[in-house]
């Protein structure tokens, strides 16, 4: 009954429709930083202006990793992070919804059994 309930819940619920549009998905954060370059006589760095760069921070095997991100990839990663947050929110809502569906189905079966035994 449990496997049937889970597959019925996923097939009949709006959950499947909601997750279809959430790709690509990513868990992490994207930050714009300003840092000096490696050139010794960079005019911008000597003025105190630093060069903008983007960093993606994400967990990998339990450790925090930071990766530099090319400017043209930033919009895609921002959308992926937003999708990841939505997906995580949906996943957190699925557990209580499955339990609610299970209890509802159990109560209907119990009521039907009681009704049949009284007749």
DSSP 24-58: S---SEEEEEEE--S-TT-HHHHHT--EEEEEEEE
Where does the pLDDT of residue 9 fall: very low under 50, low under 70, confident under 90, or very high at 90 and above? Answer: low
Q: Does residue 30 come out as left (phi exceeding 0), alpha (psi in the -120 to 50 range) or beta?
A: beta
Q: What is the mean pLDDT of the chain?
A: 83
H or E, element range at 3:
helix 2-12
pLDDT of residue 13: 61
55 has pLDDT over 70: yes
Tell me the whole-structure pTM to 2 decimals. 0.69
Percentage of the residues of the chain whose pLDDT score is greater than 70: 82
pLDDT of residue 44: 85
Give the range with max mean pLDDT: 20-24, 37-41, 61-65. 61-65
For 94-99, what is the mean pLDDT?
78
């Amino acid at each position: 009954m449990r496997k049937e309930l889970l597959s019925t819940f996923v097939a009949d619920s709006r959950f499947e429709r909601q997750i279809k549009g959430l790709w690509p998905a990513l868990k992490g954060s994207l930050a714009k930083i300003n840092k000096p370059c490696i050139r010794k006589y960079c005019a911008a760095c000597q003025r105190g202006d630093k060069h903008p760069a983007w960093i993606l921070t994400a967990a990998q095997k339990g450790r925090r990793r930071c990766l530099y991100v090319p400017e043209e990839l930033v919009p895609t990663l921002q959308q992926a992070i937003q999708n990841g947050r939505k997906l995580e929110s949906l996943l957190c809502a699925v557990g209580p919804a499955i339990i609610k569906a299970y209890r509802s189905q159990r109560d209907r079966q119990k009521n039907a059994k009681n009704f049949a035994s009284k007749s």
